[in-house]
Amino acid sequence: MTQEMGKPIAGAITEVEKCAFVCEYYADNAENFLAPEIIQTDASISKVLYQPLGIVLAVMPWNFPLWQVFRFAAPALMAGNAALLKHASNVCGSALAIENIFCEAGFPADIFRTLLIGSTKVARVIENPLVKAVTLTGSTPAGRAVAAKAGKMLKKTVLELGGSDPYIVLADADIEHAVQNCVTSRLINSGQSCIAAKRFIVEKSVSKSFTEKFVANMKSKRCGDPLDETTEIGPQARKDLRDDLHKQVQSSLDKGARLLLGGKVPEGPGAYYPATVLADVVPGMPAYDEELFGPVAAIITAEDEDEAIRIANDTVFGLGAAVFTANHKHGEKIASEQLNAGACFVNCLVKSDPRLPFGGIGDSGYGRELGHHGIKEFVNIKTVYVA
């Protein structure tokens, strides 16, 4: 992963460990999750069975080359399906390594296969009658294209797409704690994460304090060689992606955003981009409206809690969201009832966990991975009724 897309090696090690966790979780729990359910009706016997669909095609991105595959493959294979992986073209080594892992683990031959094909060939694979369902993690445009093709073929899809996760910092929040979590989330995988914090919405009364501490924390992070275990920000995965990110930053500045840190493409080799902080971000700017897939933070000041929640929900995305407050019960109420996203966290950063369902709404996709919900996405939920 580090060699192919520049992931800092410490994060790569953590990713491998998380893949082991999801495999162990489904090895321990899949049988119970898929056990027949007896339902009391007028029948002598009525039950629900969970049976595999067949071959599931996974179209996966480069940013978490192992985790995003294993979080699909572990439940899908434990449910009795077979899997085809079309990985991003810049992580072919990771794709082949995953196939080899399943072979070494003792899975039946050909139960998991990697397809070394370009994106233009995906439609033909979806058309194949042996493929029964499709899952995609990636951009919203890619999700629309795959869903349209699969829909035409009447095949089930699960989509985990982009995000512009809002983190609300209320006036009573522990600012030091909030800053630490916000910076950590924004810089996960050098900022290249769908569920990384993107928009930081801060109540006006604590905006100055939060901003000063946030900028200082971002500035302290070490950018460098991803093979160095002390590196906290590695290069972006490709230079074209780095350049696109810079255009979004520059466009936001041209429209009135204020640059507090970074924002300049460094000289020298590698697709590096510095930790960057923008303030005075408003609608109409890429930093407000779009997903910035890199180490760029947008700070937005809200007059009060109600405005902060309105701004948080003012997005086409709906993957994750977080709120920081000293009142845990109040934070739980906001997360439960007022934030529009697939995963809402209180006083910590948004993260995926094998034990909990993961996925989004709106332009962030549909369906769920992980937990007992995830393993039931690619099964035939069959009713059996005996009079």
Q: Which of the residues are catalytic?
A: 160, 194
- For residue 157, give both structure tokens: 């899809």
| Identity at 334, one-letter amino acid code | I
Residues 371 and 30: their CA atoms lie apart, in Å, by 10
Q: How far apart are the first and last CA of the chain?
A: 55
Contact indicator for 197, 322 with CB cutoff of 8 Å: yes
**What does the DSSP 8-state code read for residue 119?**
G
105 within 8 A of 134, measured Cβ to Cβ: no
Q: Which two tokens stand for residue 128?
A: 């194949």
Rounded Cα distance between 22 and 16, Å, is 10
DSSP assignment string, 201-235: EEEHHHHHHHHHHHHHHHHHS-B--TTSTT-SB--
* Region of residue 24 (left: phi > 0; alpha: psi -120 to 50; beta: else): alpha
